[in-house]
Amino acid sequence: MPPRRRSFLRLLPAALVLAAGCTTTGTTDTAATDTAATADPGPSAKASATAPSCPGGTFRWTGVTREVRLTAVSPVVKVDDGDRGWITFHTRLVRNIVPRVDTSDGSLSARRVLAALARHLKLWDLGEFAAPGEDSAHHERHAVRMNPLGHGARFVEAKGVTVIEGSFTVACPGRAVYGSVSTWAVDHGASLACGVDPGDEAWVKEAYRLACGGGTA
pLDDT of 15 reads 40
pLDDT at 21 over 50: no
Lowest mean pLDDT among 18-27, 91-100, 102-111: 18-27
What pLDDT is stored for residue 158 in this prediction? 96
Task: Quote the pLDDT of residue 57.
Answer: 83
Cα 141 to Cα 74: distance, rounded to the nearest angstrom: 11
Given a cut of 80, is residue 176 above it in pLDDT? yes
The more confidently predicted of residues 208 and 144 is 208
* Spatial distance between the Cα atoms of 37 and 202, rounded to a whole number of angstroms: 37
What is the structure's pLDDT at 23? 36
pLDDT of residue 11: 54
* Burial class, 165, CB count within 10 angstroms (exposed 0-12 / middle 13-18 / buried 19+): middle
Give me the amino acid identity at 142: H
2 — pLDDT class (breaks 50, 70, 90)? very low
Least confident of 120-134, 137-151, 189-203: 137-151
Per-residue model confidence as pLDDT tens digits over 65-80: 999 999 999 999 998 8
User: What's the confidence (pLDDT) of residue 37?
Assistant: 35
- Regarding pTM above 0.85, the answer is no
Using alpha carbons, select from 35, 39, 50, 40 the residue that is nearest to residue 110: 40
The region of weakest confidence among 7-21, 90-104, 120-134, 138-152 is 7-21
For residues 194 and 61, give the distance between their C-alpha atoms in angstroms, rounded to a whole number. 41
* Strand locations in the chain (E): 6-11, 27-29, 32-35, 58-73, 77-79, 87-89, 92-93, 100-103, 144-146, 153-172, 175-193
Asked if the model's pLDDT at residue 29 lies above 80, the reply is: no
Lowest mean pLDDT among 5-19, 49-63, 146-160: 5-19
How far apart CA 109 and CA 115 sit, in angstroms, is: 10
3-class state of residue 167 by DSSP:
strand
Residues 36, 62: Cα–Cα separation, whole Å: 16
| Phi-psi label, residue 211: left if phi above 0, alpha if psi -120 to 50, beta otherwise | alpha
Between CA 59 and CA 32 the distance in angstroms is: 8
8 A C-beta contact, residue 177 and residue 108: yes
CA atoms within 13 A on the CB side of 196: 18
pLDDT at residue 40, rounded to an integer: 40
Give the model's confidence band at 26: pLDDT under 50 very low, under 70 low, under 90 confident, else very high: very low
